[in-house]
Amino acid sequence: MMQSLRAPAMAGAFACVVAGWAPVAHAEKRVFNMTIEDTMITLVGKQKFHTFAFDGQVPGPLIHVKEGDDLTINVENDTTLPHTIHWHGLLQTGTWKMDGVPDITQKAIQPGDTFTYHFKAEPAGTYWYHCHVNTNEHVAERGMWGPLIIDPKDPLPIEKKVTKDFLLMFSSWDSAYWNKPGYGGVPGDVNNYFTINGKAFPDTQPIRVKKGDLVRVRVFGAGDEMHELHLHGHVFQIFAKDGHPLPAMINADTLLFGPGERYDILFKADNPGIWMVHDHIDMHTVNGTKPMGGAMTTVEYDEVNKDQPFYIWAHKKFVPNFYYEDSMKKGYGIFTNPDFKGVPIQ
């Protein structure tokens, strides 16, 4: 029996154990500030949605730090409802009262109040943060989530070879609640909009690669539905689940994931073209009742001429940081993104 590569060592029982790392003792102290704001975003076309948005954007700002960093995050609740922040997947060793669960680890942060979270960034991998108050509405329907990426102190060899790193947060929405904050996320609801990073096709953005790239795609089940990622024209390798490298990579062309799960997949960009990427749950590729929307995008190779007579995005304006690919290259910190900003609601 093999152990996953970044697992805390469990005694015995394993046929082969990978050597642990030698932790280095110069963790950075990082202090971030976040607000929570009533914000109107646009999912696609004219479909708006009232969210409780971290820093006024959906997804929330990218937090990108290094394993072992000492984090202080000051949160100010500027909405009219109570909230918390849960740092999904983090160990919170010795800091369980920083876990962000109302009535379990703290009292919820009331409107106008602030709360300071202080904890260590571990383990390494792909994590996210989200509200833990009335998650059935706040997380499942109101966009209260953002990515939290913790780089390993000692990355695996294949991670060092990655040339492009994209973050895709999948979620779903019931338009019946678009302007009814405080409601939604209950049995019988019918989600009818499906988004990647808060936008539905055709208002998503292509994933741009060049031949030779080793591409890492991190997917997040941020809403409340199952998703079935399908990438055309490539076999991808499922590399990590919930931030933790699998004991062996799995080849696939589809990937099933549910609420709260994250998967890191890798693929070699070796097949220039324009390729569909979509949720293979077909119902998730509509906008309301209109087909060919929802959780869809494309992979576009630099080598290929996009001006094709049949290509719906032949003349689309490209937004380079839509998958936080640019921000991920800029070192550590907190990164807001104007592409995700909504309009404040007073």
Q: How far apart are CA 139 and CA 172, in angstroms?
A: 10
Residue of the chain from 40, 70, 82, 156 that contacts a second copy (CB under 8 A): 156
Residue of the chain from 310, 315, 317, 346 that contacts a second copy (CB under 8 A): 310
CA angle, corner 38, sides to 35 and 42, nearest 5?
115
Q: Which is nearer to a second copy, 79 or 298 (CB)?
A: 298
Interface with a second copy in residues 222-251 (CB under 8 A): 224, 226, 228, 230, 232-235, 237, 241-251
Binding mask 278-297 for a second copy (x = CB under 8 A): --xxxx-xx-xx-xx-----
Binding segment toward a second copy, per CB under 8 A, in 32-40, 45-53, 268-276, 338-346? 268-276
Question: With the C-alpha atoms ordered 224, 230, 231, 235, is the resulting torsion angle positive or negative?
Answer: positive
**C-beta of 303: minimal distance to a second copy in Å?**
11
Tokens 């909504």, located at residue: 342
Interface with a second copy in residues 36-55 (CB under 8 A): none
Q: Which is nearer to a second copy, 55 or 141 (CB)?
A: 141
Q: How far apart are CA 35 and CA 56, in angstroms?
A: 8
**C-beta of 244: minimal distance to a second copy in Å?**
4
**C-beta of 40: minimal distance to a second copy in Å?**
22
Q: How far apart are CA 285 and CA 291, in angstroms?
A: 6
Q: How far apart are CA 20 and CA 242, in angstroms?
A: 19
Residue of the chain from 37, 38, 99, 165 that contacts a second copy (CB under 8 A): 99
Binding segment toward a second copy, per CB under 8 A, in 30-38, 58-66, 252-260, 315-323? 252-260
**C-beta of 346: minimal distance to a second copy in Å?**
26
Interface with a second copy in residues 176-215 (CB under 8 A): 185-192, 214
Residues binding a second copy: number (CB under 8 A):
107
Binding mask 108-147 for a second copy (x = CB under 8 A): ---------------x--------x-xxxx-xx-------
Interface with a second copy in residues 58-97 (CB under 8 A): 86, 88-89, 91-94, 96-97
Are the C-beta atoms of residues 240 and 246 closer than 8 Å to each other? yes
94: left (phi over 0), alpha (psi -120 to 50) or beta: left
Per-position DSSP letters for 85-151, written without gaps between them: -EEET---TT-GGGS--BTTTBPPBPTT-EEEEEEE--S-EEEEEE--SSHHHHTTTS--EEEEEEE
**C-beta of 330: minimal distance to a second copy in Å?**
25
For residue 340, give the DSSP letter. Answer: G
Farthest CA pair distance, the chain: 61
Q: How far apart are CA 117 and CA 95, in angstroms?
A: 10
* Cα separations in angstroms, 248 against 2, 8, 245, 251: 9, 17, 8, 10
**C-beta of 156: minimal distance to a second copy in Å?**
6
Binding segment toward a second copy, per CB under 8 A, in 29-37, 71-79, 152-160, 328-336? 152-160
Q: Can you read off the two tokens belonging to residue 341? A: 């900003």
CA angle, corner 39, sides to 37 and 43, nearest 5?
140
275 counts as binding a second copy under rule CB under 8 A: yes
Q: How far apart are CA 9 and CA 267, in angstroms?
A: 29
303 counts as binding a second copy under rule CB under 8 A: no
